[in-house]
Structure formats: structure tokens, C-alpha cells
Structure 1
Amino acid sequence: MKSYALLLVVGLFSLTSAAQKPVGIFENHDDIGKVLHAGTATYDNATQTYKLSGSGENVWFKKDEVHFVWKKLKGDFILHTQAALVGTGTDLHRKIGWMARTSTDTSAAMVCLTVHGDGLTAFQYRKKNGTNIEEVKSPVINPDILQLERRGRSYFISVAKLGNPFWTVEVPDFDFPEELLVGLFICAHNKNVVEQGTFKNTRVYTAVK
């Protein structure tokens, strides 16, 4: 009986370990929603570059379909990266960027700072599970730098082209839990294809306690 119990514990530990897929500074990566093609995430330590591939129909209304590489963060944070889509792509609204979610459920409350294939840059958010996404568009088209900050119940979005000042806006009143899943994402905006994106100089800052 003791041997069986030990084997069971070892088996469960192995399954848990296998489920974790760390990439660079991130703990795991998953497909969100019912995507047709599994996404991937890799990190090149020499160039300090993350490369994501993913399918997914959209990040909009009451469901998200993306590939998401993430880690758990508590409290305030600042996220910084240089994001770029690879190639000409299939859809003008394919998108990449930062995302912070309350869970991996397709309709979870979340925020994301995203750049589309046509250069459109926006802060998109769902304040409660199962509700439609809202949006704040940036006047900066196709920025080089994406920065997303959580400060209490507010999110601060800062975007810029290299060498130019940041454009920044605050979006307040989020009643999210202290701990979120935070990371990078890609969405093809066409469920039948897979798109790729790169993220350089990616930094995650949290408060020192």
C-alpha cells in the first residue's frame, strides 16, 4: 500500500512537472481558446529574443484566442519590450503585445497592450469575466517600444518609436486580484493560419518588498 502511494505521488509530480513549459523568464506558455493550430514559444539567450508563433481568431468581444507565454505576478509591475511581427502576414489585424489575465479561460478578465499588423496600437481590456472588450487607441502607429504598468487599480500604457517621447495614458478602476498571469502573446486573427512575432529587450519589473 505504501509503495502504491509513493508511486502515485511520484506520478502526480511528474505530470505537474511536464505541464510546466518555462521559456526565458516566463513560467509557462499555453494556447488560450479553441485554436486550430498549436502555438510555440522559444527564447534565444544570445540575442535575448523571444519568438512566438500562434493561431487564433481574435482578441475581441467575449473570447480570446491567442498563444500566451506567462508568469505569475503579484501587485504592481512594469513590463517593457520591443515587439515586431514577422513577415507580411495574412491579416492586417494579426497582433502581438503584453497581456495580463486573471486566468487562462478564453473569456477571463484581462488587459493587453497590442500592436496590429497594420500598425494600429491599442490598449484592450475586459474588466469582468465574460464581458465585451473595451479599447483605447493610441495615436502612435507601429511603435517600437511597448510598456505596460500596473499601479494599484490603474493601468498606464506607454508607447514610443525609438528616439521619440512616450505617449502615455492611464486607464483606472480595475478590480483584479493581486495575482495575475502576465506575459507576451500573439494572435493570427485568422484561425486557419499561424503567425510569428519577436520580442527583444523584454523586461519585467516588480516592487521590492
Structure 2
Amino acid sequence: MMTALRLLPVILLLSAAPLAAQTPQLAPDWAYPDTPTHHQVAPPPDFHRQPTTEMKSIGAFDGQTDVGSAVVPGSSSYDPATRSYRITSAGYNVWYTRDEFRYLWKKMSGDVSLAADIAYPDPNGYGDRKAVLVIRQSLDDDSKEAVAALHGAGMIHIAWRSDPGVRVKDMEYRIGSRGGLPGGKSPDSLVPAIAKRIGIEKHGDEFQLYVSLFGEPMHAWGAPITLHLDGPFYVGIGFCAHLPDKLDTAILSNVVVENRAGKVR
């Protein structure tokens, strides 16, 4: 007579994902850029981080600040031989009602001319990353400001925040032979050639964007915007990776920063 055998079930406990893939997000969910399953939105109205400032001069600038204190600290260096600033930063955006970016600045009053050549060493960075020329009232993340920017994908814009905590408005320029270009992109065939140099001029309460598309002399681009800033205010250059927890780098060179209008070149 054969003895019956009872087969006990073997239970395998499988985790929903490998442990390495369960690393928690460093930044809030709203701060991450658009993907097929996620849309970046404005931060909550009461969300702010205090700036992190190094009172250490660098080139023409008197201080360096992580405006909005991104979850990964930024850094900057200056090469006097090439007169170039290397700015490394994370940061979800310079947009909406608050900003996160690495900012090299000096205090000024009155009229200002500010310009720079811009290059991105990593060709694979996020397309909406922004090298910026910024004139702002304070170092707070929601400060009044005027911003000229060159995006990684080639778009140029001039933007402004009219009061603390107010959402940014802007005028955007996508360079190409036909309209309807999506998102922040300029045509791939033109991106290597266009807008290597941008500038912004403050003349009283008017701020004018300047552009050199193909190496020609700088010229005014689009209409000026109007914004009142009380002196002294902050004037400088910066960079935002558009990734809240990952660093990227921009190089800004041949920088003009003068305490008078009419000197963008």
C-alpha cells in the first residue's frame, strides 16, 4: 500500500520592484519634468526654500546663490584665461511662482547692460534647461525679476515676475523657417548655429531682449517689457537644469555686465 504524499505549496514573496528601484524621490512630485505619465505643475502657493548664499566673489560678480536651494547644491567656477563661467546646477525651473537655479550676482542701481555667449557641454541635457541673464529685486525664490534665457533645445525667451509670488509671464521665440514649432524646440538643423549670444538691457523700467543669431552684432529682439525694481537690485547670470535632483552645466563666456544702458554687445 502506497502512502499518500501531501505536497505543500511553495510561496515566493516577490517585491513589487527591486530594492534599488525603490529609492525615494528627493524632490516633490510636482517638481519633476513632463513625461508621458507625468506633468510638471506650479508649486503649492506656500512652498518656499530660503536661498543658500556664498559671499565669495567670482569674476565680475560679488556673490553666488542657490536661489530656491535645489535639493542638490550647485557650484560655479571662473576661468580668467577664457573669461568663462562654468555654472552647475539642478533645479526644477525658473518659472511659475518661484525659482530654483544657481545665480552669480552683483548689486546695482539704475540702468544695466548684461550679455553672454552660452554653451552646453553635455548635448544630452534636458531640452528645457535654461542659461539665464537675470535682474531681480532679491534672492528670495519668488522675487520680482526680468529674465532673458536660452533653452537647451534652442528657444529664446524674455520673462518677468511682476510681484513676489506672481506667476511668470513671458514672450517666447522659436527660430525657424516655418511656424508651429512645438514646445521649446528650434529646428534641429539650426540649433547648433542659432542664438549663441543673448543679452538684456534695463533702461529705466524697460527691459529689452537682445540676440545674436549667427554671430552678427547684437540687436533688439521683440518688444520690451515694463517692470519697476527698486535699487539696489541683483544683476547676474545663472543656470537651471530643469531637473530638480540632477546636476547639469552651462558655460557663459564673454560676459558684459555694465551699470549703464546701451552697452549690450
- Give the TM-score range, shorter chain: 0.7 to 0.9
Q: 2:99 aligns with which of 61, 64, 81?
A: 64
8 Å Cα contact 1:58/1:188 also seen in 2: yes
Aligned pair in 2 of structure 1 residues 80, 63: CA closer, same or farther (>3 Å)?
A: same
Question: Once the 2 structures are TM-superposed, how far is the Cα of residue 167 of structure 1 from its aligned partner?
Answer: 4.7
Question: Once the 2 structures are TM-superposed, how far is the Cα of residue 28 of structure 1 from its aligned partner?
Answer: 0.4
Whole-angstrom distance in 2 between the partners of 1:207 and 1:171: 17
1:193 maps onto 2:246 in alignment:
yes
TM-score normalized by structure 2?
0.68
Unmatched runs of 5 consecutive residues or more in structure 2: 1-52, 176-185, 187-193
Whole-angstrom distance in 1 between the partners of 2:75 and 2:54: 14
Whole-angstrom distance in 2 between the partners of 1:172 and 1:188: 25
1:146 maps onto 2:146 in alignment:
no
**Hey, which of these two has a bigger chunk of strand by percent?**
1
- Equivalent residues in 2 for 1:45-194 (5 A)? 45-140=80-175, 142-164=194-216, 166-194=219-247
TM-score normalized by structure 1?
0.85
Whole-angstrom distance in 2 between the partners of 1:90 and 1:196: 9
Whole-angstrom distance in 2 between the partners of 1:185 and 1:19: 14
Cα RMSD after superposing both structures: 1.8
* Residue identity matched to 1:154: E
**Hey, which of these two has a bigger chunk of helix by percent?**
1
* Residue identity matched to 1:50: Y
Unmatched runs of 5 consecutive residues or more in structure 1: 1-17
Whole-angstrom distance in 2 between the partners of 1:19 and 1:65: 16
The structure that has the greater radius of gyration is 2
CA deviation digits over 1:78-114, x for unaligned, max 9? 1121011221244211110201111111111111101
Whole-angstrom distance in 2 between the partners of 1:153 and 1:89: 38
Report how many aligned residue pairs link the two structures. 191
Q: Comparing 160-169 with 67-76, which one deviates more in the overlay? A: 160-169
8 Å Cα contact 1:53/1:186 also seen in 2: yes
CA deviation digits over 1:148-176, x for unaligned, max 9? 10001100111112334635233243121
* Residue identity matched to 1:20: M
8 Å Cα contact 1:89/1:117 also seen in 2: no
8 Å Cα contact 1:32/1:67 also seen in 2: yes
